[in-house]
Amino acid sequence: MTGPVSWLGLVTSLALVAVAVVVSLWQHLGLGRQIAWAAMRALVQLLLVGVALGLLLTPGRSLWWSWAWIAGMVIYAGDVARRRAPEVPRMASLAIASFAAAAVITLGVTFGLRVLPLNSRTLVPIAGMMVGNSMTATVLAARRLVDELRDKRDEVEARLALGQPSRLAATPYVRAALRSALSPQIETTKATGLVFLPGAMTGLIIAGVSPVHAVLVQAVVMFLILGATATTTVVVALGLVARVFTPDHRLRPLPLGGGKRG
């Protein structure tokens, strides 16, 4: 290995996982096994992805393989979103549509306007960050909207009873869901550089890229994540409105939540 972290370094860093396990044991959290499993699973997944990316980024390899990788990533992300928000009707297809829309817009701007050069080395990581970073907000928007419409059903039906079309009747709850889903990303963006150094920039600096160039890349990534998050949340929210209301403007029954938050 020629990078800044050796295999021995990697093994040594597992001491930090041990710290988390010790905290769990000390405070009787019962999370030790989960922490160890999560760390090992992440490591194995990253190694497998590293191998796959190595194949994907081989010079001369067709860019279509990268697009196929992104398509697979979007579909898998849809499944993850479904499992995180089981109470949201047909969440997987909604999430896939929202990630696909975000991919078209953000990758279109980033590569179509030549902000970054289009090749496998830029396309796959950028798409990965786009999907990964907008996942939480997408799930949050969908769950919040379903919660709002279910908990304020009386209010929603009062709006419908006034003759408001379902899209208009849902507007206040869509706004609340979008605000709550986008606020954390906006706060993160505001705090970037002051409170924390983001992963992409840190990784580039560690890999030897000059801090100024690392900052430029990070800024692009940050704006891309902001744009992607706004796109995925609005697509998922409007798509959900179309599904939870009938074509004749009635609110369908909505199940109670029970899945993992986030």
What is the rounded CA–CA span in Å between residue 168 and residue 201? 42
The conformational region for residue 118 under phi > 0 = left, psi -120 to 50 = alpha, else beta, is beta
The total number of residues written for the chain in this structure: 262
Q: How far is the CB of 14 from other proteins (least distance, A)?
A: 51
Q: How far is the CB of 158 from other proteins (least distance, A)?
A: 4
Q: How far is the CB of 256 from other proteins (least distance, A)?
A: 14
Q: Which two tokens stand for residue 78?
A: 């849809």
Contact present, 241 and 166 (Cβ < 8 Å): yes
Q: Which is nearer to other proteins, 58 or 246 (CB)?
A: 246
Q: How far is the CB of 126 from other proteins (least distance, A)?
A: 40
Give me the residues that bind other proteins (CB under 8 A), please. 154-155, 157-165, 172, 248-250
What is the rounded CA–CA span in Å between residue 174 and residue 193? 31
Classify residue 78 by its DSSP letter: H
